[in-house]
Structures are given as C-alpha cells and as structure tokens.
Structure 1
C-alpha cells in the first residue's frame, strides 16, 4: 500500500515495470485491432515471400523475411496473413516499450514516459503499420533500440554497447534503408574524438556492423534456388546491387520540382498535425526549447533524424509515403515528451511537487484517451475489404482467362489468393509494369508454361531490347516501345478464343493506346473484357460482387483502398451504360441501382438511371432520377434537357432522351 502511495505522490514507476506495462497495453490493443487477413499495397506479396522464403521487392527485406518465417513456424495455426499481422503488432508493442525506456534514459519522469510512449504507439501512422504485415514497424523497433543503446553507451562508456550498436545498425540496414535516418541521430550521440581517432577501438564495431549487414547475403543465396517470389533475381552482383539500392525506384527519387517538394512537405505537416489530439505537434515546441537550454546534443540528434526523414520523404514521389516519415514522427514524439517534462518542471518550481505529480497523472490519463479517439480509423479487425475485392476480381474473369493489370493493389492480393488459397489456378495473371523487368519472365514461364510458349516470339524479340535498357547501354526508345507493344498485344490476344483477355482499366492512354485497337473494352464485373464487336453477352448479376463490400466503413479504409472501393460504382455504372447503349434497359437498371448502393452522391449514376427508366417508358421514375441529378449538380445541362423533353412528350416519345456517356 505504501509503495502505491509513493508512486502516486512521486509519479514514479520502476523502468522494467513501466516497459512491461506499455508492452501489455499496446500489444493488447494492436492484437485486438489487427486485420484478419491481407491488406492493401505489399501485404499479399510479403505474406507469400515470408511463407516461401522468397525475395521481396527492393530492397528485399531479408531480416523481416527470416524473422517472419520463424514466427509463422512457431505460430502455425490461423490464416497466414493474420499470423503476420499479429507479428507486426508485437513488433510495434516492443518498439513502444523501448521508447518508454529511451525516454527514461533521457531523464523524462516515468509517468510522462508512459504518456509519451502511448501517444506515439497510438498515433495514426504508427498504429496503421502495426495492424497489417509491413516492414516499417521493424525499422522503428531497431531504430528506437539503437537510440536507447546509444544513450546507455553515452552514460556507461561500455565498449560492448558500442559493439552491439554497430551490429544492430547493420541488421537494421538489412531491413529497410529508412533505418539510416535513425543512424544519423545515433552517430551524433555516440561519436567523439576518442572513437574517431582510435582505429583499434572502431575495428570490432566495424566488423560487427558488416556482420549484421551480411543478412543481405540471404538474397543471392536464396535467389539461386529460384523461389516462387524471386523479385529482381539478385543471384549475380549487378542484380544484387541494383536490388538492395532500390535502383528501379530511382525514377521517383530526388527529381521533384519545387511545387512537388512543397506539396510533399505539406503532406508531412498534415501527417504530423494528425497525431493524437495534436499533442505531439504542439508539445514538441516547448520540448525543443527545453533541449536548446539543457541538452544540445540530444537536440542535434533529433533534428538530424527529422531532417533526414523529411528530406527523403518529400523527394520520393509515391502515394503511400506516410510510413517513410516514421523516423521523424518518432523524433517528434521524443521532443513532445521533453515538452511534457518541461511543463512538469515548471509546475514544480511555480507550485510544488504534489501539483507536478497531479499534472503527470493527468497527462497519462489524457494519453489513455487517444486509443478511443483513433479507434474507428485504426480498427481493422473486421477489415476483409482487400481480400473480398481480390476475390471479386477472380469472380469477374471467365475460365482460363488472362488478366493484364498495371495496378499493384490488384496484382498483389490476387496473387495471394492464387498461391496461398489455391483459387482460380486456371487464370494467367500478368503485371504489365513487371514486364519491363527481365527477371519476371522466368516467373511467367514457370507459372504459365503453355501461355508463355504461345507468346515466345514476341518475348524473345523484346528481351534483347530490354537487356540494353536495364544495363544502361545504347538502345532505340522507339524500337523498345514497339517490341513492348507487340508483346502486350500478343499476351492479350494471341489466345483470344481459348483464353479470354481482361484489363483492369478501360482508357486508351499511354501503353494502352495501341492495345487491342479493334476490340471493345466491355465492363464485366470489376474487369474490362477485350471483345470483338458483336452480340452483347450476359453476366451473372447475382454473383457479381461480394455482398458485404457496399457496407464497408470507408473511414477505416486507407487512401489506396478507397480508390479500389470506387471501382465498384464505376464498373457497375459503366456496365449499365454498356447495356443501355445496346437497349438492354431492364438489365442496365439493375446495375445503376446497385452502383447507387456504393455511391449515392454521384450525379452521373442518376443520369444513367434516368436514361434506363426512359428507355423502359417509366416517365415518372425517369423524371425523379433526372431531378436528383440537378439536386447534386444544378449545372448539369443534360439532365435539364431530358426533363424538358419528358415533360413535353416530344415527337418520338420518351425515347428521344439524351444520355451522356463518360467512360
């Protein structure tokens, strides 16, 4: 009883107890909100890579792959992706516990360290990475571990700690290159003149760093065995070097214009401001002021991490950039904890220790409200959207079909369904963008030998041109594009009568401008079937899509998942237009009505609905639909003209309506 009273009065708690408390609370919440299966982006690919001990997209993530394989071997029950989602959650909980210990090393009061670590753990970006399989949580864990070890080394001057820091630094680099942003701060903390000038003192740490970095040897050693997922085939030195340095992504790096840089910087500021109740954002200000006065080295270390992370993030033009700002957010969280500490010391000076203790407990209480505030957005425990979407893609394709896509958010989850759940093995799934990588053809030949053989002439004509491009040799861009275009047409149309071909987009832009020129792109399900002009074929509406997708809470979807969600009303609308254009009004009506169950705020769908009603001579229903268009878009002239025609019953009757078609 006395010990509890002491804790309450002093706002103090034993570091180990505090760390375990943080781990238990955070792990419990993460596990309760973990996604039950795959999510978007890389989830499907990483799951298969871990299961098959394959090679992931650059930079390969060998450390995550090996640790993940150990985990699913130990936790051998349940869905593969779910087990790995739990793995991500436990990694995140360990990172939060280490952050608590790190704050303690920096002199932050224990209860405020609890508050700071919980604020970080339940911030939207961090929480999001802990509910699905991703590599960034492990980067955060190793980065925070390095900072904690560095602070201990600074106090204890124990050479063994320096050696351990070097080894962990090498291992971390073997997980993700953003680990380097943490290293920038660590070097500021640990380096001093005695280390730099004494080569004998740094020899062992350098060796241990290289030993940790040797985890990358997994890539060529495993690539030699040609696993199912063998991205980049890093079995030789040029391919290995290109893979671990992310060569294929350099087109999106360090070449942004000033407006693009400014746009990305604003994105970071919005992400930072979206932390829990903006505590981290505004508390960081007094924290930095406190550090200017008390601990300039810590200030420099945090600033280095933030600047490195933000500089790289704003110079990397990809949609899902938030995770690349995680090192900066961790540094801001530490600064925010210093802000809490500064206010605590101010209260102690101005009031008394008791008032300061009350403040500390109040800060902790507020931090415990953050999970409730972010719960709806972060909770993915009922999120089946991505796997249901992928399943609907499979349902949309006919037997023995080929699906040509340039959308990774479609390709990766469908690949998971095919290889992990054994669904639709009759389909040939081809990523159009990966056709620009020579290693991908080995995968295609192994997975679809007959299909590959049928297109061999075009493949063999394209590969020499691709070799010149990949190896930086002189090549003819027009020749390369022509051979690529020939290959796309062969893949889509060579087996037209035996393998119906589908696309995941209907426009004729870019590489699609010369694809299947004389073929219609007919919306069927979530796909567009390449079809010679002719008779309109039916499609089973009762098995059209998974019945739960239109009930999805879109607030819980990621930005990229929301784009996929829009595919449902888009394709339903376009199928309705296709049917109405061919005078199948009754069937078209069903598609328009189903589209509205996904999006009832889009004027274009009501316009199509009004057109279908007009074709069926249902004048009142048509007028109602066109009036709804005007409610949503008062400037829509097409709806206004159709209403006037229907009201006047012009010669030709209701079928004189005009329908605006937008693909």
Structure 2
C-alpha cells in the first residue's frame, strides 16, 4: 500500500533517510542534558575528556569515538557534547531501522512509523539524551544486521559479497569495544549465514572470518593497554599489562557474567519471576499495550510468510531478552536494580520493533484490501495513516516529561552543593558513584576544586593501590594521638579488609591535619563514626572534637546551606519523581533532618522543629523524621507533666530516656544523677547513668557507674558489656 503523501515516486523519498536522521538528531540535541547526569554519565564524560579508562570492560570504542565527536562539535559545554553523541548514534539507529524495514517490507510508511515509534519510546529516547554506551550499542547491532541483509542481497545477485561479510565480521569484533552483550547476537548471525550460504561453514572462510573478528577485538582493546601505560587520571583497574587487561576485559571486579558479584544472591524462581515481570512492564512502557498486540501480529505474519526473518529475529530476541533476564536474575529486584538492569533490555526492544513493523505492514495490507470496495479510498488511506501515527505521537507526548532533559541541572547542582560544603584541602570518603564521578567532572573538565581528594570506597585492591600511589602524602604522617577515637572508629579486633585498612590509614593519619568528610546518605559507611560526625551541609565532618562545633557555629553552617538550597527549594519526592531524582532529593532531606537533630541535641527545639518540617517537605511521610518531631513534643510534654508532678519517678525515667534518644546526654545524666540520690540501690539507674556519661565521653565516671551497677546486680548483662567496652578503650 502507498499512502498519498509518501510515495516512492516523490523526490522526498530519495532524501528521506537524511531527513529522518536530521530531524531525530536535532530533536535529541534539544532534549539532551546540558550537563552531567547521575551514575555513570559523568564518568564517561571524564573518560572521553582525559582519554581514560572507565569501569570494566573499559569501553574503548565509545571513548575513542567520543573524543573524535567532541573535537568535531564546537558548541555547548563538554558534557553536552558527549551527551549529544548518544543522540547522534540514536538518530543513526532510527535511520537503520527505517532502512531495514523498508528493505524487508518495501513499504515506506511502515518503515517510517516503526522507526519513529522506536525513536520516541521511553528507554531509547532516555539513553539518547545522556552520555552512555547504549545508543552506540544499538547502532552497532543494527549496522551488523543491515550489513548482513546487504550481503544476502549481493550474494543472491552474484555481485561478490565476501568483502561485505568480512567487513561485518571486523565490525562485530570491534563492537566488543563498546558493549560485550553484542556476543548475544552471534547465534542469530550464525543462523542467518548458515541459511544464506551453508558452504561458508565447510571452507576456510569461516576461520578467516573468525580471525578478522578477533583482529577487530584486539585492535580496539590495544587502546586500553596503551592508554593505561600513560597513567591517565581515570585508569580503572590499571590494565597496563596483559593480565590486567584481561581482568578488565572479563570484568573480574564485578563478575564476568554477573551484573555485580557483590550483590549476587543466587538464582531462584522468585528472582526470575520478578525480573521477568519487570521486563514485560518495561516492554509495555516502550510500545504500550496496543503496540505489543500489533507486534505479535507481525511475529505471526513472519512465522507464516518469512520464515528466515522469523527465526533470525526470534533467536536475536531470545538471547538479547530472556537470556539477559536469566543472567541478571541472581540479584534480587529492588528499585535500584530495576533501574540499572533496564538498560540491558534495549537491544531486545529494538528487535521487537521489527515485529511491530511487520504487524503494521500486515494491518495496512488487510485494510487496503478491505477498503478497495469503499468509496473515497484516498481519504480512508489518510485516516489510516493518522491512526498509525498515533503510536509514535503518543510515545512522544507521554515520555516528554521524563525524557526532555533540556533544562536538567540537578546532578550538577547537587555536586556543586557538596563541594560548597567542603573546606579547602578536604578529603571526601564516599561510595556514591554520582558524587565521585560528578566531582571528577568538576575537577577534570571545569578545572575547579582540585584541592579536594575523593576516596571511592570500592572493594578493589587495585583501586586501593592506585590511591596510595596517587596520594602518597596521605599515608606518610603519624597516626593521631587520640587513642580513644582510633579504638572507637577502628576496633583492633575487627577483621581488616583491604578497604578497611586503606580507610584506617587515611583517617588516622590525617584526622589532625586535614578536614575529612563522608557523604550524607550512606549509613553503612558511617555507622562506626556516628559519635564523631557533625552535619555540614550535604556531608558529615569527621572530627575528634565534636564539642568544638557550637550552636553558633552550626547556625552559620545552616544559614549557608539554606541560602544555597533556597535557589532550588522545589525539590520534593513524589510518585512522579524519577528514581534518580528521588535519590538526590533524599540526601537533601537527610541533611535537613541531621541538622535538625543536631539542634534537638542542643535543646533548640524551635530550630529543630523547623528543620524537621523542611525535611518532610522534601520527603513527605518518612517515619524517622516524624518520630523526631514526636520526640520534641514528647520531651516538652514530659517537662510540662513534671512541673505538675515533680516527684513522679516514671515521668523522670521516661524523660531521661527521651533525653538520651535526643542525644541530650548531659540532661539525661543530670536527671539520672538526681534519681540515684533517691534510689541509691537501683542498679538499672547506675547502668543508664553510665550510658549517658558515655554519650559525652566521660569514660572513667561511666566506668565507675557500671561497676556500681554490677555490685548491685551481677546479672545485669548490659552493664558488663559496657564495662568491658570501656576497659578496652582505656587500656594502653
């Protein structure tokens, strides 16, 4: 069927691929993020800037092409230029989908509408806006499929197709320099070659093809070892030897066939079911329910009419879809895992779009036959065209809010706010990729805050060695004389990992000479340091003297942070917030909660209450923040009741516990001391008094009270545990 406004006889058709590319590229250029985006985005930008080695498997093809692209594009920030490269390869991918379907269906409207449906689908468009490897992966996969079809055509026409097949083989090997999941297309490729020309598998040509692919692979990965030997700023895994290169290539740090071996739980029916459900939810989000129905119609049509292409696409889909699902199903599904894994589905969605195209082709064909007996045929054709256009237009409209990143500055603002919280020559310890890569971007691309040293807490011994080599001055000084601090933060009986040893040396040798910080929102990292952390904006300052941070000093910190936050106080976690937005907003909410708790500990209830409300305005309905507000009311209510009943022991006990919960240790201790005078034989009071004294580091006095508690009640296990702990702290 030929629609009246898209005819093969019109001049428009000849230039349609170029027009389609230009339109999509300009569209993605408009919606691209102008600066860095959370997670790996900033890392890739830094790697392109420095010709460095990002996380395994190093992505050398992406880095090389990125460098070339940024040299060609003179406009915008460097981050936008690298983000734009994703849009460039996305636009080329859209054109390849158009060309492939045009070749297979000989129907321009079908090819065009299918290509646009993919272009505006959620995941494809999303990764067209940010620096990441997935649109280049899509382009490479489609380029190989397109070249295979061209090879098939040349072979059928006896035009000498060997050269094209060898080019395809070389590009296949080269493609490993961008994403290793390209290997999952291999079964479909081999099947296609087998049915097109079986003789290849019985000749030396198959060996030559394998060698050419291997040459492409070796060529692109030679860049990794050459650049690593030059010691670039970003040199993940330090692959300057063959063994190091092999470790990076095989992703040994994360697990060769695992997404991350650090989070592997094991395959289970429940995990597989949850990941499968997530996959089909994502598929529906890309093409919508009626798009999926049309695609299934296309799959049936292929099975009946074009068996080769049916088998090829089914093989490709199975390996790029269900096999991927199985490989990642050893990790329990949560919102973070769902976000990280969804990008791996994109290749299978591209294959799925071919079925959509064939479904549209069949529907139009049947509609055309039905409309032959009706009058006003041209009008009917236009109406059908309008109906078909609904699919890409609906995707464009429904995905516009989430995927239009034209004015996205959140991550850059977040990183800037963190840096504003740090003193000069600060050491920042964090496990958060968005923070690490974001600060690297500010330092390497924008050339700001080179004084800050970021310590990434990854469990990689090679990374730990690199940190030692890059910052030898952090490990050269004496350790702190504050032995209590050292014992509390790094217990001698604790098992030392490579990371633990690294952090112990950095902290104990620099705590007295350099400001050390932890990022907000990483409790697993900061749990050992709670008594020595002071909230300072979006970070915690680690100090051996928390008492130096007076309420007056903290008010200055609060005012400084509040002034910065007031420029973007629209931050609020809602059901419509993107997962990565929620991740950042949450840290602002935690910051206000932590500052509120500090002022609560200082008995400034009004300031604490306002800060808790500010935290709730960002992250509504969080129990821990509501509990903190309730704690204020609880203390005030107990004080009011005690004014009326000053001798009520239960009220005093409850108030002492509330003071302790609010970290008002001095108030708790004062009240307990009064109660002990009236009940000198109460072992529990002595134990609680000791705990309160420990809260503000009155170790000897706390020890005496635990001993007194045990004299009165030898079975009081908590007193014995606390006493043993203090003896450990005070021992030489």
TM class, shorter-chain normalised? Answer: 0.7 to 0.9
Contact 1:169/1:209 (8 A) holds in 2:
yes
Distance 1:326 1:165 in 2: 22
1:596 to 601, 616, 621: 616
2:547 to 496, 517, 534: 534
Contact 2:3/2:381 (8 A) holds in 1:
no
Contact 1:506/1:528 (8 A) holds in 2:
no
CA-to-aligned-CA distance 1:452-496 (integer Å, 9 cap, x gap): 434899xxxxxxxxxxxxxxxxxxxx9973554333222223211
Mapped pair 1:201 → 2:205: yes
Contact 2:47/2:54 (8 A) holds in 1:
yes
In structure 1, list runs of 5 or more residues that go unmatched: 458-477, 618-641
Mapped pair 1:550 → 2:569: yes
Contact 2:295/2:353 (8 A) holds in 1:
yes
> In the TM superposition, what is the alpha-carbon distance from 1:606 to its structure 2 partner?
4.6
Structure 1 residues 226 and 551, CA, compared in 2 at 3 Å: closer, same or farther?
same
Contact 2:237/2:248 (8 A) holds in 1:
yes
Q: Which moved more, 1:171-180 or 1:90-99?
A: 171-180
Distance 2:498 2:390 in 1: 64
2:388 to 353, 363, 374: 363
2:409 to 381, 384, 401: 384
> In the TM superposition, what is the alpha-carbon distance from 1:579 to its structure 2 partner?
1.6
In structure 2, list runs of 5 or more residues that go unmatched: 156-160, 332-336, 481-492, 664-732
What is the correspondence of 1:187-336 to structure 2 with a 5 Å cutoff?
187-192=190-195, 193-202=197-206, 204-213=208-217, 214-250=219-255, 252=260, 255-310=266-321, 311-316=323-328, 317=331, 318=337, 319-336=339-356
Distance 2:478 2:42 in 1: 28
CA-to-aligned-CA distance 1:516-551 (integer Å, 9 cap, x gap): 48x433332122222335344433223214434432
3-state SS of 2:454 partner: strand
Distance 1:314 1:661 in 2: 46
Q: How many pairs are equivalent?
A: 609
User: TM-score normalised to the size of structure 2?
Assistant: 0.76
What is the correspondence of 1:127-526 to structure 2 with a 5 Å cutoff?
127-157=125-155, 158-192=161-195, 193-202=197-206, 204-213=208-217, 214-250=219-255, 252=260, 255-310=266-321, 311-316=323-328, 317=331, 318=337, 319-352=339-372, 354=378, 355=380, 358-433=383-458, 436-446=460-470, 448-454=471-477, 481-482=496-497, 484-504=499-519, 509=524, 515-516=528-529, 519-526=531-538
Distance 2:211 2:25 in 1: 35
3-state SS of 2:76 partner: coil
> In the TM superposition, what is the alpha-carbon distance from 1:660 to its structure 2 partner?
10
Distance 1:454 1:90 in 2: 50
CA-to-aligned-CA distance 1:221-279 (integer Å, 9 cap, x gap): 11111111111111111111111121222163684333222221111111101114444
Structure 1 residues 296 and 650, CA, compared in 2 at 3 Å: closer, same or farther?
farther
Match of 2:602 in 1: 582
Q: Which moved more, 1:196-205 or 1:569-578?
A: 196-205
Match of 1:625 in 2: none
Distance 2:588 2:178 in 1: 36
> In the TM superposition, what is the alpha-carbon distance from 1:293 to its structure 2 partner?
0.4
3-state SS of 1:247 partner: coil
Contact 1:345/1:356 (8 A) holds in 2:
no
Contact 2:572/2:617 (8 A) holds in 1:
no
3-state SS of 2:254 partner: helix
> In the TM superposition, what is the alpha-carbon distance from 1:12 to its structure 2 partner?
8.6
CA-to-aligned-CA distance 1:33-67 (integer Å, 9 cap, x gap): 11010101111111111111111111111111111
Match of 1:470 in 2: none
CA RMSD of aligned residues (A): 3.4
Structure 1 residues 648 and 367, CA, compared in 2 at 3 Å: closer, same or farther?
farther
3-state SS of 2:533 partner: strand
3-state SS of 2:476 partner: helix
3-state SS of 1:529 partner: strand
Structure 1 residues 553 and 527, CA, compared in 2 at 3 Å: closer, same or farther?
closer
User: TM-score normalised to the size of structure 1?
Assistant: 0.83
Contact 2:475/2:509 (8 A) holds in 1:
no
